[in-house]
Amino acid sequence: MGMLDGKVAIVTGAGNGVGRGEAIMLADHGAKVVVNDLGGGVSGDGGGDKRVADEVVEVIKRRGGEAVANYDSVADFEGARNIVATAIEAFGRLDVLVNNAGVLRDRMMFSMTPEDFDTVVKVHLYGTWNTMHHASVYWRNESKEGRQPRASIVNTVSSAGLQGQASQINYGAAKAGIAAMTIIASLELKRYGVRANCIGPGGFTRMVAQAMKDIQVKNPEDYTEFDPMNPGNSAPAVVWLASDESLHVTGQVLRLVGNNLCVYRPWEMGEQFLATDKDGSPKQWDPADIGRILNRYHFRSENPGIDAQRRA
């Protein structure tokens, strides 16, 4: 018995790297999988190579699983509708949506073009929303018809968005937006039996190879022993988040890179300071007081700084 027996899953961008590892492991644990991949390049150029998705379907079938291919673009609203429809038409239902499809166009912001920014945001941020929208329509209707789902959305984020990375202002903005969107989705969809979480993966992928030319990119299933750079290392967390073992988990962001598992803490308010008059009544902050209070009680330093010292 697998953790996902009887479930139907979609994995977008499942032709290579992280998504490929997730699709294969979901199938290994009993899920019937829609392998979605446009068959394009890392930068979002090209497309239409159906062999990319077909190969993963064949890998899954050779391992005893069930899968079908889909070649639509998540960036296209109607294409995303068809991705969801493919699962329902092929397998009669949808239980798991894993959003992994992505492209990369790294440049410093002063060299980045509007097309570079739009292309990355369109695939990552809009693409994630597009598939979530159509899946949520289906799950909401199922709930209203008395067939309450036990469904799971797993979206893909990155430290580039949660911690920051120079040259990835487009990619980072999209990934940070996905994290926020996922938390909001968890609030909106809980009444319909749908959970929404994120996974932050890692490893040697085609995207990483754009910046690190000397790395060896392999398919996740081709690793014969544990390697921290295997892009399939995040797949176990996706399987768990897709399973009924995690029905109590929603609105969370997990990171699994190599053998390192952690949970990101969302933006949270730190120590609060109140502006008051001498009698304790509230007042509007004086700009000069903001620096004095933060320097003393938050930054723990009243040093005027190197530039200020130089001017003095």
8-11/260-263 β-pairing: unpaired
The yes-or-no answer on residue 190 being catalytic is: no
Look at residue 233 and give its three-state secondary structure: helix
DSSP 8-state code for residue 46? B
Burial 152-188 (b: 16+ CB within 10 A, else e): bbbbbbbbbbbeeeebbbbbbbbbbbbbebbbebbee
Q: Which entry of 71, 126, 175, 243 is annotated as an active-site residue?
A: 175
Q: Are 182 and 174 in contact (CB under 8 A)?
A: no
Angle between helices 51-62 and 17-28 (to 10 degrees): 30
The yes-or-no answer on residue 158 being catalytic is: yes
The yes-or-no answer on residue 136 being catalytic is: no
> How far apart are alpha carbons 86 and 83 in whole angstroms?
5
Q: Put the strands of the sheet holding 194-200 in their side by side order.
A: 67-70, 32-36, 8-11, 96-99, 151-156, 194-200, 253-257, 260-263
Q: Which entry of 73, 136, 152, 158 is annotated as an active-site residue?
A: 158
Burial class from Cβ neighbours inside 10 Å (0-12, 13-18, 19+) for residue 29 reads buried
The sign of the dihedral angle between the CA atoms of 196, 94, 69, 1 is positive
Q: Which entry of 171, 234, 243, 246 is annotated as an active-site residue?
A: 171
Taking the CA of residue 283 as centre, how many other CA atoms within 13 Å lie in the half-sphere pointing to its CB? Answer: 12
> How far apart are alpha carbons 289 and 9 in whole angstroms?
55
Give the active site residues: 158, 171, 175
